[in-house]
Amino acid sequence: MTQHNVQVLSPNGDMQPASLDITGEDDLALIFRHDTLGYFETSEPDLFEAMIKLRLWLEPHGYRLLCNGARLDVYPSRMSRDMGRGFSAYKIIPGRQAQMSDLVRILDPAPADAIASVSEQMAFYQNWIKSIATAAQARG
């Protein structure tokens, strides 16, 4: 088991400490602990998917996870999910293919102004995919 200390942004704008425990062989179990919100646990094929489930649980309470995995402009590739178990993801830039230099660890801290909801992050990712196709067509 590995334990990670993370920050969450509360509805009133305070940054508060929380912990994430990660265990598992096949699926990864993610256990979240926070003084106010209590306890949340999920088991998913990769860490990014587990963090999505956690974020979907946090959002109705008005809390945001302040990690790279919750940034608007971060999303994992299939390979990083399959082979890296979703611990890393790419910082994506519209119109540009992701590169190794864009790889970030999803549990590393991120500033509050870079954080998005799960639906906003998914929409940004879908628009990025379209922008890659458009850029490829423009190059001929």
User: What is the DSSP secondary-structure string of 29-69?
Assistant: EEEEEETTTEEEEEEESSHHHHHHHHHHHHGGGT-EE-BGG
Alpha helices by DSSP H, the chain: 47-58, 78-82, 118-139
- The pair of three-digit structure tokens given for residue 53, joined into one six-digit string: 């489930």
As a whole number of angstroms, the longest Cα–Cα distance in the chain is 55
What confidence tens digit (pLDDT) does each residue in 112-128 have?
999 999 999 999 999 99
How many other C-beta atoms are found inside a 10 Å radius of the C-beta of residue 44?
19
Half-sphere exposure of residue 73: CA atoms within 13 angstroms, side-chain side? 15
Tell whether the model's pLDDT for residue 107 goes beyond 90: yes
Which pLDDT belongs to residue 135?
79
What is the C-alpha separation between 126 and 113, in angstroms, rounded?
21
Residue 9's pLDDT band, with cuts at 50, 70 and 90, is: very high
What confidence tens digit (pLDDT) does each residue in 47-97 have?
999 999 999 999 999 999 999 999 999 999 999 998 889 999 999 999 999
pTM of the model: 0.93
